[in-house]
A and B are shown apart, each in its own frame.
Chain A
């Protein structure tokens, strides 16, 4: 009986467990947390089963589990051991699983080359999938597998993929080249340059965006490749991705410095007689003229105009790049006229992210270091708000100290005083004091004012012995040091203030720190030459508490006593000389001199000092006087001291190294005028674009981008006309003069034809020449030339949409259209290619 009951209960129990499991699985569909819980409970063995399961959901669960173990640094699961099980699923129908496998491959393929090779075949198969996204993923996944033996295959793949109709796939090629280049750049240099030139000539903004990243990463030494694309890029810059925009500007900055003539500056004088000209200096502040005009090369002008298109971008990187361009090529007037200071300030204000905010502020600081005038109108923006972070506040204060000048100093001083009195953060207060010190250097009036204010602050905080101070002790000590620095410059002027400071020395309530005390004592030693009378009394007071003072103070007391003694002896000697003209020598009476008594007692105390240094110095000082070498003592102790430059490390903000490097001036490379101008060649003659959109089945006619492109197209057109005027014989001279260019251009076009899918790859020699010519005839036939520019004729596109099924047929038709067009010289070759 009992047995039965047991059996039933155990059966029920197992049923319960089963339902619970089922419920867990079911609930995993609903909530994330329960799914995570469920996922956690998958055992390693189960996981292997899941990965090999026929059911896609189980595979997915398995992959999810693996990936979450990977990203959470789970040590318990040996993730790598599942590699074989994972890559089996590379052909999974579920795109998510496939992508998760790609992420898995990123991490582990390199370590398991043999196993990884197994999935290459599957990936290659998907390269010809109808879906462009899948092709793109495959290209990406293939290039992510970092196995050397695989590279030739990948290069082949890339060569094929570069003519893909989808921009996604083509831009993936750009990224693939980056990855391959990182591994062994030498092996495939030619290939990559070939592919790059195709990518550069692409018409799709997305492909160009990726290509820019590629270029910046791998080809910064081959800037000449950009010649024929420079103008086009300047035109379309606003359609690129914002990260690419910033990258492009950076590249073109370097390019312009290398290949474009330095702008010249002409002084504008009223009478127009002797106008001085000079080349654009390395820093725009070096322009010596008041009124001037600046002449830019037309291409440089084009680039600068392109920069202006990006002023409203919401990506701070773009703004930073534009600023860089302006610092490199523009005058301060243009800098302000284009609204850059305003833009910088607004980006700073708007940005919610503190790292970006501070970066922008540091850029302001960097510009202020060279040319603070630009930011004068924004002084108030650098006033600190109560809730701002320490970082922001301290950079702001630094900027304020740079901006202070006669016109705005009053408001700055008022503001800084407020911080010192009201802010609780010691570090901010100290920085504020530092700014005040900088302000004091502007003129004597402010110096006096600030000094009085600071001393008043010290007095108020020390005299009225109340429990809470307006200013914390640390800050107060810093104030004292600042006061000392100001006074030291003109001790006579601020004699009264020195006297006030000395009262602090014996202040019982307020504990000056060692350093501050030492500072004041040192200052007394310096004024001894001016006002000797008060000094001995101060020394006497100091002596009382000598043993309780800190190291620095004790040392300074020792030195002070020596100084005073030295002065006293000198004074005595002077008086002696005046009185005894007879030549009777009388000596300074050490025994009766009060100062000597003080001195000896200090020396006595120093003998028992715990510091080696003080004992040593005491011996040294006393020996000076014992040996009666007063002249030496005078020289040593009374020498005028240079004004101490305050240590900048304490308060100077270090601009981030990244920013510094970024804004480093790029040197101009002098272009020899003869090489180009002699033969009247325009090296930046635009190249033809490669438009792959005609391979697409479907094109939206109401396309926003195509509208944008058509606008571009118009500009492009006019530009060509302009070029036409400059360079009458673009094709032939081009190839003869520009040696680097010729192979590049030919190659690219060869590529272009060779890569037309299925039907191309013939008649290379003919084409190359012919197409060069057609570039000169652009002006006339561009409107019809659909191959090279995106269509602006909408109706025609729609027709295409309806008609074609396969790209080859479409080609046929288009080519047929072209046939009617006599201007298109390359047409005859097409039928041959197609056979």
Chain B
């Protein structure tokens, strides 16, 4: 049973609390309790937020390694014991769950009573759903704390609709229900945006020739609202309605739980956004031959070897359709459907490998077929407004299509170039494409690593292995007091550095750019990473090159991570070939405006040297 839910910001101060019981502790009481009972749960920022590389800074170079290590082990043990500090037990029968919402940068704290039949993760899944619902309800990509505070009454009502008697209010979590129960407020800003939306759409209509069945609308208004030309009966809880209770109850046209009965639009529209995320890791092949001979040869002998790859995709639908229409979406694979010859319908289907997708509850599934579904045709009665129709994960590790390039962009490295063998070159190859003109926010992060030459055969004697430098220092140390030991170390180091610098005639070991065709290059303060940041838009078909110098043969390029975004095509080649709307109520020949948008995001395009 859920006893209470608290929403806090990242510094743990209260934004909102939902106390559905006389015995629910207030936030102050709750906080005092967990500070006493399980203080570890409070500071788990590092473990929850997705960036391990920057998260832990405790590897400072103190000389007290021993103590540090002991302390470290102690910390470590604590982490190990306490279930990562996102779920703790307080007292005999209370549990507290901590949930972090990435989009809104807020924490949810859920206090539950223990229950042996409760599914694991249930509070997390519920809070996740709640968080998504809030975003959808307010029609935002992220919610500011101010927004949450301003709408505390609505928030209360939404929480009230979600939780009934301490349990999940099953069957009523769909957005239509929330909207019916908590009517969306129309304020001035909404009126303005919706007007803007109408104008923009009418412009688009002119451009595309008015509602052709397949038109790619490149910029659908993201924050658009449908209030201007839409009247949803059943949200008549505004100030003016004297009955105050809408009509949804009396005239029950509800055929599916996720769609309210009498939805009416003057303009019928349905939009599908295909959003794909590329996660890929490449490793440069060891042999140097590869990148000498096959520098730009894009065939199987690519210098990069695929370590792991997958594509995570999502079909987001925004539907503003009247009544209870049935929609059928047909998907094809662009890579194969474009080559018209040689592929039969059946082949196309075989090539469309979506793994095992997740579907929204509204999708009709042929249960007879089990996991061998036909994913080409997706039939559903859409919920009103925004929803995620399907999510899929294409696993490319085990697929045979090694020739298929991951997305439009590929990166290659070369290092050990130049007279001093300390130069490197990064080549970004952006394929040309007819569907889009530019890549957005391209950025290549480069990581460097200081590498000491490994001794090829270091299994020989012991004494010989001790380097001269340290022997020298040991003599110095013997004569000195121990307290000055570290000082002498530094001195020695400095000496050595100077030697090196003399040899290489460099001022400092720092990555420098020699030649750069696009964008700019920023070096981090630690000198071990830098980012090559492109302009907001980079044209397709170009081949930016960065040539840089590390300043030392020991400092080598160790890897790169590329991020970018582009519209127009999906990385996997999935394409929506048709959207059919069946049964639009009154007039069957009602025109439906349909739009498809493709978007590809790469956040984990990792290359290793």
Contacts and interface: CB of A to CB of B under 8 A. Distances in A.
A182 B66 CA distance: 54
Contact of B393 (A244, A346, A380): A346
A314 B249 contact: no
Nearest to B463: A503
Contacts of B116: 661
Which secondary structure characterizes the binding site on chain B?
Answer: mixed
Interface stretch (A184-192, A472-480, A594-602, A720-728): A472-480
Nearest to A350: B391
Interface in B431-482: 447, 449-455, 458-459, 462, 465-467, 469-470, 473-474, 477, 482
Given A312-B365, A548-B482, A477 B355 contact: no
Contacts of B81: 649, 654
Interface centre among B167, B183, B251 (most CB of A within 10 A): B167
B570 interface: no
Interface string B77-114: 10011111011010000000101101000000000000
Given A36-B150, A421-B449, A424-B59, A93 B242 contact: yes
A474 B83 CA distance: 24
Given A250-B117, A467-B497, A661-B116, A426 B56 contact: yes
A702 interface: yes
A311 B50 contact: no
B118 interface: yes
Contacts, number: 456
Contact of B451 (A106, A247, A321, A470): A470
Nearest to A430: B76
B171 A387 contact: no
Interface residues of A, number: 174
Contacts of B373: 312
Contacts of A251: 117
A241 B251 CA distance: 23
A718 B18 CA distance: 48
A393 interface: yes
A427 B56 contact: yes
Given A57-B239, A175-B164, A346-B358, A94 B244 contact: yes
A347 B391 CA distance: 9
Interface in A380-397: 380-381, 383, 385-393
A506 B473 CA distance: 12
Contacts of B150: 32-33, 35-36
B388 A359 contact: no
Interface in A675-723: 696, 698, 700, 702-706
Interface in B569-609: 583, 603-604, 606, 608
B367 A309 contact: yes
Contact of A465 (B157, B324, B470): B470
Interface string A777-794: 000000000000000000
B329 interface: no
Nearest to A500: B462
Nearest to B50: A389
B338 interface: no
A67 B152 contact: yes
A425 B55 contact: yes
Interface residues of B, number: 171
Nearest to A699: B252
B102 A380 contact: no
Given A385-B604, A548-B482, A100 B356 contact: no
A7 interface: no
A206 B174 CA distance: 12
Contacts of B70: 515
Contact of B160 (A103, A349, A386): A103
B46 A390 contact: yes
A29 B496 CA distance: 72
A171 B100 contact: no
Interface stretch (B198-206, B253-261, B265-273, B400-408): B253-261
A144 B147 CA distance: 29
A651 B120 CA distance: 23
A31 B68 contact: no
Interface string B355-373: 1111111010101001101
A418 interface: yes
B31 to A, nearest CB: 10
B344 interface: no
Nearest to A476: B65
B329 to A, nearest CB: 15
A633 B459 CA distance: 36
Given A70-B17, A71-B17, 8 more contacts: A93-B242, A168-B249, A247-B170, A315-B125, A320-B120, A463-B466, A649-B81, A698-B251
17 contacts: A73-B14, A73-B26, A131-B250, A241-B171, A244-B170, A342-B355, A358-B86, A360-B121, A381-B397, A388-B52, A390-B46, A461-B452, A463-B466, A465-B493, A470-B449, A509-B489, A515-B69
Closest 9 CB pairs of A and B: A110-B22, A32-B150, A513-B66, A658-B120, A131-B249, A241-B170, A133-B249, A514-B66, A314-B358
